[in-house]
Structure 1
Amino acid sequence: MAVPPPSPKAKLRRELRARRLAFTGDPQAIEQRLTSLLAQEGPIAGYIAHKGEPDVLPFLMRAFHLGHAVALPRPGSETLDFIRWHPDLVMEPGIAGIPQPMGGEPIAPGIVLAPLLGFDRVGHRLGQGGGYYDRWFTAHPQAMRIGIAWSVQEVEALVPEPWDVPLHAIVTEKEWIAP
């Protein structure tokens, strides 16, 4: 029996992972662009960088020390919770070995910094394919959705699925993109 060829999205995901891993960007440039978010009220959610993703932890530390509630994702079997984070919170390996909060208080952030594999200029996001962020975004439409990426992860156009939720903005080391 012949093995079917990979889907176009699977092929694109592989290509974008390779681009991201090969790229050496300046995470401080992304952190600088995020600074304006510190003037807003409410919890800010981020993530722990994995396999070449831009590291937003220094920005989250800064937000925490300025008095913001900060949250990190903890995926369940089908859902994603954001857990209130502080520097002493115990972390454990989660999906793909990515550190996630062990225990802790779930909160609903007003701003979500979301990792991604690819994006286009109209706010479409290509993630890992699990749908965790899209399901959370659908359940919390009031949250500001900001994709964090390196400029090399931009593609000309993504074809969204019916369940995909567009981003309000994408931040790279080069620019703040507001579709």
Structure 2
Amino acid sequence: MHELAPDCGGKHNGSDVWLDVQRWRKAERKRLLASRLLRPQAHRQNSSDAIAKQLDLDIKQFAGKVIGSYWPIRGEPDLRNWGIEVAERGGRIALPVVIEKGQPLEYRIWTPGDPLERGVWNILVPTRRAAVQPDVVIAPLVGFDPQNYRLGYGGGYFDRTLASMTEKPRTIGVGYADSELSTIYPQPHDIPMDAIVTS
């Protein structure tokens, strides 16, 4: 990435540059994930609680809203207890489900106590239900930059899903504050979050 300076500005084009970006993102993803997994469980829980409080301030009104959340994996902030509180305040939690590789995610309503099954990558997902359109999408991130671009796991599922939605939901990336990068070298398919919430 020595040829791609953070101050280049804008989105980069060209297959050679994109290959460089892909290699750099893969290396940064590996580094950030390794660092994240070294965090003590108590630290992760404190961060998760702080993120939940910030989400309350950002979203404010939950009654009648569908909040697209996620089931945590690989040291991600754990918002499951917060999701239960959202349901108690009249909101509804929807969890993402991979239906097919390379296709948008499908969000399904999950109520505490509902059965879950193992989905792609062994992630727990709601059993077969009708898909819903979230009013707010909370996307876990591996890294992020000051322009609110999110570095994920590399599958492109969240960007593909947001691009396919008929009505744009409010999008909030959540992660750890020390995962900030000067840039993720955004490409034309990358969609910035409306907000990033970290701790």
TM-score (norm. length: structure 1): 0.88
Name the counterpart of 1:132: 157
Q: Distance in 1 between matches of 2:56 and 2:105?
A: 26
Q: Distance in 2 between matches of 1:19 and 1:162?
A: 28
Structure 1 vs Structure 2 CA RMSD: 1.7
Name the counterpart of 1:177: none
2:169 paired with 1:143: yes
2:80 paired with 1:64: no
Q: Specify the SS of the correspondent of 2:160.
A: helix
Q: Specify the SS of the correspondent of 2:121.
A: helix
2:182 paired residue among 145, 156, 169: 156
Q: Which amino acid aligns with 1:30?
A: I
TM-superposed CA distance for 1:56, in Å, is 1.1
Q: Is the 2:97–2:107 Cα contact (8 Å) retained in structure 1? A: yes
CA deviation vs aligned residue, 1:97-156 (integer Å, no higher than 9, x gap): 111111122110010110111101111101111111101111225201100101121111
Whichever of the two has the greater Rg, that structure is 2
Structure ranking higher in helix proportion: 2
Which runs of no fewer than 5 residues in structure 1 stay unpaired?
Answer: 174-179
Q: Is the 1:31–1:56 Cα contact (8 Å) retained in structure 2? A: yes
Q: Distance in 2 between matches of 1:8 and 1:70?
A: 34
CA deviation vs aligned residue, 1:31-76 (integer Å, no higher than 9, x gap): 1111121415521110011010001111111011111121001111
**Percent identity of equivalent pairs:** 31
Between 127-136 and 16-25, report the one with greater CA deviation. 16-25
Between 52-61 and 34-43, report the one with greater CA deviation. 34-43
Q: Is the 2:25–2:184 Cα contact (8 Å) retained in structure 1? A: no
Segments ≥4 residues shifted beyond 2 Å:
none
1:49 paired residue among 72, 79, 85: 72
CA deviation vs aligned residue, 1:9-34 (integer Å, no higher than 9, x gap): 11111011112112333111111111
Which runs of no fewer than 5 residues in structure 2 stay unpaired?
Answer: 1-19
Name the counterpart of 1:97: 122
Q: Is the 2:69–2:138 Cα contact (8 Å) retained in structure 1? A: yes
Name the counterpart of 2:50: 29
Q: How many residues align?
A: 169
Name the counterpart of 1:117: 142
